[in-house]
Structure 1
């Protein structure tokens, strides 16, 4: 049986509103999931069930500009820590664990760095490294679409807006059966095999919901990734980095850089995994490690 999902809005003190979904055991320890880019407050039921088996209650919010979350132009990655704290406050929750996949990875690191004592553990799954990371060729190994997208982000508006509007036109109506073609060379063979059944339906729903109100969230995420994150990533709590060597969205070198440069992280650099397969096939292992190593 699929877990009950509570969909709600959280109103923030600055007048913004965030889309939020919550699912899992009522007394479970909070697990905040930071979605990818583009993404939205959409939960994948097998991930919620895996979290519940670990005694965790899953909380996801759509970053500003995605879905019906109010945009926040000029936001930086660090701002996710305050938004996460505000969502948890509204839910009456205190300490938490967090996971960030893909573009959510930096936002999980923001929580680990900027909410010490409240964030008790964090994991990044195929998460990007800082754009200005020393010794890292940031786009090397990415699929052509990502190279074009982040090249546009570096150029700023109107190049980024033009690029994302064209992509959003595709994602607005994308279906599960369309995903492999829509993602093109961004998916390796192992990730193509992942894009079936419920996982493909979840990804398509997340993409469609992400661009419901336009490209603001995606646009502001991209600018935040290639700009100053607003903090220096460090482990203010136990942090794990998970990365596959068949990842064409966020290359293996990003995980290697984070594992080598963020003090105190646990590195899980896995041969044979891609960007999607880690999320779809390794989530139980990720939660095992997260729960076992919480502060």
Structure 2
């Protein structure tokens, strides 16, 4: 059922905790669409007994109350509320795919609490100077983010809402539907990953919980990614790891290259022969990197 958490403005978030209660806290941010149940493969806590894992459903997903008009930056206050609820002061953040921008928001806006950040197959801001934001992006995502921009500029205020509502209804009937919708855009490197029973189980569980109540989390994520994020990535001063598969079409590697050139001291890890969903396998490597960072920062 998860743990209910109240934000300072009275909204409800649903959070999860697992791993070692006395371990080093790591807050995991799920993808888009996604939920707190889709942030790690089974057995991760057993392989990393020194880690205390936290995650939560972003506003509009599962039973977490919607926050219309939310910005990426707003994740910092929500993450702080979750950490407070579990009695955690300092923590690391890890964001995969749509969780990446939200992890960076915490790194930029909570420097006194976030000790390090890792972003796996993340996105760059929509106003990234010199970056062709849609270059090498799959048609599925180009369409989705195009509809998001049409919504914000008034060209088609309800098109994205209508489309995602229909998709979410289909996923509620059959969570496999979303994976099938993505299949045409999967790289040859992604297809065996999503067929891995461990990965598929986690993805389906996450989609089911994310869209169980409504499509609003999915909608608000997409809108947040294409409006100003509310912070400058170059202000991030904590250690940052940027992991990306070179054959990712959902979040093209150009986004990570751009981030690596703007975040001071960021460490890019660019992996050949890996697509978007290979990030599901990268978390152990990321945790080893986090463990090597200065926890006293």
Whether TM exceeds 0.5 here: the answer is: yes
CA deviations 1:179-210 (Å, max 9, x no partner) are 54221233211111011202101101111211
When normalised by structure 2's length, the TM-score is: 0.92
Q: 1:268 to 1:50 in 2, by over 3 A?
A: farther
CA deviations 1:53-76 (Å, max 9, x no partner) are 161111000000000000000110
CA deviations 1:3-31 (Å, max 9, x no partner) are xxx82111223121001111001101111
Task: Work out whether 1:263 is the aligned partner of 2:264.
Answer: yes
Distance 1:35 1:145 in 2: 19
Q: Partner of 2:131: helix, strand, or coil? A: coil
Where do residues 276-287 of structure 1 align in structure 2 (5 Å cutoff)?
A: 276-279=277-280, 281-287=281-287
Q: Partner of 2:213: helix, strand, or coil? A: coil
Q: Partner of 1:255: helix, strand, or coil? A: helix
Task: Decide whether the 8 Å contact of 1:143 with 1:249 is kept in 2.
Answer: yes
Which residue pairs with 2:32 in the alignment?
Answer: 37
**1:44 CA drift (Å):** 5.5
Distance 2:49 2:231 in 1: 31
CA deviations 1:114-165 (Å, max 9, x no partner) are 1112100000000110011111111121111111101100000211112212
Distance 1:170 1:143 in 2: 21
Which residue pairs with 1:212 in the alignment?
Answer: 212
Which residue pairs with 1:163 in the alignment?
Answer: 163
Q: 1:113 to 1:167 in 2, by over 3 A?
A: same
When normalised by structure 1's length, the TM-score is: 0.92
Q: 1:292 to 1:174 in 2, by over 3 A?
A: farther
Task: Decide whether the 8 Å contact of 1:146 with 1:186 is kept in 2.
Answer: no
**1:252 CA drift (Å):** 1.1
Which residue pairs with 1:148 in the alignment?
Answer: 143
RMSD over equivalenced CA pairs, Å? 1.7
**1:256 CA drift (Å):** 0.9
Give every structure 1 segment of 4 or more consecutive aligned residues whose post-TM-superposition deviation is greater than 4 Å: none
Distance 2:142 2:90 in 1: 37
Which residue pairs with 1:56 in the alignment?
Answer: 51
Task: Decide whether the 8 Å contact of 2:61 with 2:217 is kept in 1.
Answer: yes
Task: Decide whether the 8 Å contact of 2:13 with 2:64 is kept in 1.
Answer: yes
Task: Work out whether 1:244 is the aligned partner of 2:239.
Answer: no
Q: Partner of 1:275: helix, strand, or coil? A: coil
Q: Partner of 2:4: helix, strand, or coil? A: strand
Task: Work out whether 1:201 is the aligned partner of 2:205.
Answer: no
Distance 1:137 1:90 in 2: 40
The runs of 5 or more residues in structure 2 that have no matched partner are 152-156
Task: Decide whether the 8 Å contact of 1:44 with 1:199 is kept in 2.
Answer: no
In the alignment of these two chains, the number of paired residues is: 288
Task: Decide whether the 8 Å contact of 1:142 with 1:186 is kept in 2.
Answer: no
**1:79 CA drift (Å):** 0.6
Distance 2:117 2:47 in 1: 17
Task: Work out whether 1:46 is the aligned partner of 2:41.
Answer: yes
The runs of 5 or more residues in structure 1 that have no matched partner are 1-5
